[in-house]
Amino acid sequence: MAKPPSNRNKSTSVAKSDSKPPANSANKDISLQENPGSATITVTAVEVPELTEQEISDRLHLERKVERAFFEAGKALMELRERRLYRSTHKTFEEYCRDRFSYTYRHVNYLIAGCLIVDNIKMGTNSSQNESQDEMGTNSSQILPTSEVQVRPLAKLEPQQQPGAWQQAVEKAEGKVPSGRIVKDVVQQIMERTKVPNTYQIGEVCQILAKDNPELRGKGGCWGIVNHVGEFSCTVRTWDGEYTVGLQHLKSHNYLPAECEQMQLISDRINRVYSDSLGETVKSLLQSLGKVNRPYLTAVEQKLLTLLELEYARIP
């Protein structure tokens, strides 16, 4: 059977061999020039006007907002936590921060601790200077942190030491905002000068003092058994594991030797029960035992721990 003729016409693009660009074309191929490197490029000078006084004021105001971003975030997070403004949608502040801001709980604690340190720096500087303050509560000559990382090392110092340490870091940075590394070096030097001998002993029972240290989140008030004594810290075993804690975050219970031995036995029993795979209810019960503020367990606590041992304890 003969095929019916096609109604579609094939379009063919044919370039005319005699087509030439206009003689005065601005897009003349540079390859046609004898020496492309000698091409002349005309640049029109644009005059940049100076900033007005209002623009200078606006710039400083906006720069200060950028510099204070982490500080304002820490303040806001602290108020959200203290007023429990998350309670209508989330059970815990940690879940709220993760869902709402994609922040880990550690990052949130760093921001909150950072804003408290900035407050200490501002108060310490303002007390030694008699200058007018702007609407943000800072002196015009103050050099303030612009990042939480810059103030994180200061958390190792007492609040009254932080302003002086920050000022030393500013001086090391030649009057500019110091990096976190510079601040860390200054803090280390201060700690070495004010070094306090480590008097803790292996087997001693100590209480952990969090003091807004994000790395000790959830450990405040827990007791632990010292199993290693360092120069500036101790390693202690708590109800859920071992932690290296600075001397400024430890407080001895001053138990008698026999009481320390008794707490060592209790610690061993709790650690044989604990594992990461335990349910939250069981972990909460163990945590309550890990925060007792006496060198013994009550009868009810003894029965509770015995029951948990029968159910979950690992055979040593």
Are residue 287 and residue 215 in the same domain, yes or no? yes
Are residue 61 and residue 188 in the same domain, yes or no? yes
Q: What pLDDT does 316 receive?
A: 55
Rounded average pLDDT over 261-290 = 93
Rounded average pLDDT over 201-209 = 94
Q: Do 71 and 115 contact (CB within 8 A), yes or no? A: yes
Q: How confident is the model at residue 315 (pLDDT cuts 50, 70, 90)?
A: low
Are residue 188 and residue 61 in the same domain, yes or no? yes
**Which position has the higher pLDDT, 28 or 49?**
49
**Which position has the higher pLDDT, 233 or 119?**
119
The number of folded domains in the chain is: 2
2 belongs to a structural domain: no
Q: What pLDDT does 138 receive?
A: 44
167/171 Cα distance (integer angstroms): 6
Q: What pLDDT does 61 receive?
A: 85
Tens of pLDDT, residues 211-224 = 767 778 888 899 99
Query: How many percent of the chain have pLDDT more than 70?
Result: 80
Q: What pLDDT does 192 receive?
A: 78
Q: What pLDDT does 125 receive?
A: 67
Q: How confident is the model at residue 40 (pLDDT cuts 50, 70, 90)?
A: confident
Tens of pLDDT, residues 296-314 = 999 999 999 999 999 988 7
Cβ atoms within 10 A of the Cβ of 226, count?
A: 21
Are residue 289 and residue 244 in the same domain, yes or no? yes
Q: What pLDDT does 121 receive?
A: 93
Phi-psi region of 211 (alpha: psi -120 to 50; beta: other; left: phi over 0): left
Rounded average pLDDT over 44-50 = 77
Are residue 83 and residue 181 in the same domain, yes or no? yes
Q: What pLDDT does 303 receive?
A: 94
Retrieve residue 46's tokens: 């644009």
**pLDDT at 140 exceeding the cut of 70:** no
Are residue 79 and residue 157 in the same domain, yes or no? yes
Q: What pLDDT does 137 receive?
A: 44
10 belongs to a structural domain: no
Are residue 249 and residue 169 in the same domain, yes or no? no
22 belongs to a structural domain: no
Task: Fill in the amino acid letter for 259.
Answer: E
135 belongs to a structural domain: no
Q: What pLDDT does 132 receive?
A: 43
**pLDDT at 42 exceeding the cut of 80:** no
DSSP string, 222-263: -EEEEEEE-SSEEEEEETTEEEEEEGGGEEE----HHHHHHH
157 belongs to a structural domain: yes
Are residue 88 and residue 162 in the same domain, yes or no? yes
**pLDDT at 15 exceeding the cut of 60:** no
Rounded average pLDDT over 223-243 = 90
- At CB < 8 A and 24+ separation, what contacts does 166-169 make? 166/121, 166/124, 167/125
Enter the pTM of the model.
0.50
175 belongs to a structural domain: yes
Are residue 62 and residue 118 in the same domain, yes or no? yes
Task: Fill in the amino acid letter for 233.
Answer: S
Are residue 228 and residue 307 in the same domain, yes or no? yes
User: What is the residue range of 282's domain?
Assistant: 205-312
153 belongs to a structural domain: yes
Are residue 63 and residue 185 in the same domain, yes or no? yes
Query: How many percent of the chain have pLDDT more than 90?
Result: 47
**pLDDT at 77 exceeding the cut of 50:** yes
Q: How confident is the model at residue 48 (pLDDT cuts 50, 70, 90)?
A: confident
Are residue 178 and residue 254 in the same domain, yes or no? no
Q: How confident is the model at residue 10 (pLDDT cuts 50, 70, 90)?
A: very low
30 belongs to a structural domain: no
Rounded average pLDDT over 33-51 = 71
Cβ atoms within 10 A of the Cβ of 240, count?
A: 19
Q: What pLDDT does 180 receive?
A: 92
Q: What pLDDT does 297 receive?
A: 92
Q: How confident is the model at residue 8 (pLDDT cuts 50, 70, 90)?
A: very low
Q: How confident is the model at residue 29 (pLDDT cuts 50, 70, 90)?
A: low
Averaged confidence pLDDT in the chain: 82
